[in-house]
């Protein structure tokens, strides 16, 4: 199971809700807008990616819709406050 599948599990989601935010890998983004289009609360996720910032918006439900929809897989959940990425180890 890869890191992204790992996140899709319910347990991972509830853990993320408590402690994670969405972080981008901006070099992979082509600003297609799918993330912003599917955000249920209307956060402009794409703009966060352009600026290379995590989605710290208080409205973020950490629902994972943008993470799941991004056609380039550049959005990930990461523990709030850390800047490092998910290790592939998590997927094992």
Partner 1 sequence: MPLRHLLVGSGPASIAAAEAIRSRDLTAEITCIGAEPEGYYSRPGLAYYLAKEVPEGSLFPFTDHDTDALGITFVPGTVVSLDRAARTVTLESGRTLPYDRLLLATGSIANPVHVPGGDLDGVVKLDDLRDARDLARRAGRGKAAVVVGGGITALEIVEGLCSRHVDVHYLMRKRRYWGNVLSETESLLVEDGLRQRGVEIHYDTRLAEILGDRGKVTGVRTESGDTIHCDMVAVAIGVHPRVELANDAGLECARGVLVDEFLATSDPDIYAAGDIAEVFDPGTQRRSLEVLWSSAVAKGRIAGLNMASGPIHAYDGGAPLNVTRLAGFKLTIMGTVGGGEDSDLEGIVRGDSEAWRQAGEATMVESQAGDAHVRLALGTDTIVGGVVMGDQALSFPLQDLIGARADVGAVIERLKEPGAPIARIVDDFWTEWSARA
Residues at the interface with partner 1 (CB under 8 A): 1-5, 25, 27-34, 36-37, 46-47, 50, 71-74, 84-89, 91
Q: Are 87 and 78 in contact (CB under 8 A)?
A: no
Q: How far is the CB of 20 from partner 1 (least distance, A)?
A: 16
Nearer to partner 1, 33 or 40 (CB): 33
d(CA 2, CA 49): 23
Structure tokens at 52: 């290379």
Minimum CB separation of residue 22 from partner 1 in Å reads 15
CB 75, min distance to partner 1, A: 11
Which residues face 21 on adjacent strands? 78
Among residues 34 and 80, whose Cβ is nearest to partner 1? Answer: 34
CA angle, corner 63, sides to 57 and 67, nearest 5? 85
């Amino acid at each position: 199971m890869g890191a992204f599948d790992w996140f899709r599990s319910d347990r991972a989601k509830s853990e993320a809700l408590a402690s994670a935010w969405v972080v981008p890998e901006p070099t992979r983004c082509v600003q297609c807008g799918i993330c912003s289009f599917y955000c249920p609360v209307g956060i402009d996720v794409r703009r966060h990616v352009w600026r290379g910032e995590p989605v710290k918006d208080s409205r973020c439900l950490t629902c994972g819709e943008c993470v799941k929809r991004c056609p380039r897989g550049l959005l990930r959940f990461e523990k709030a406050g850390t800047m490092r990425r998910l290790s592939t180890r998590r997927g094992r």
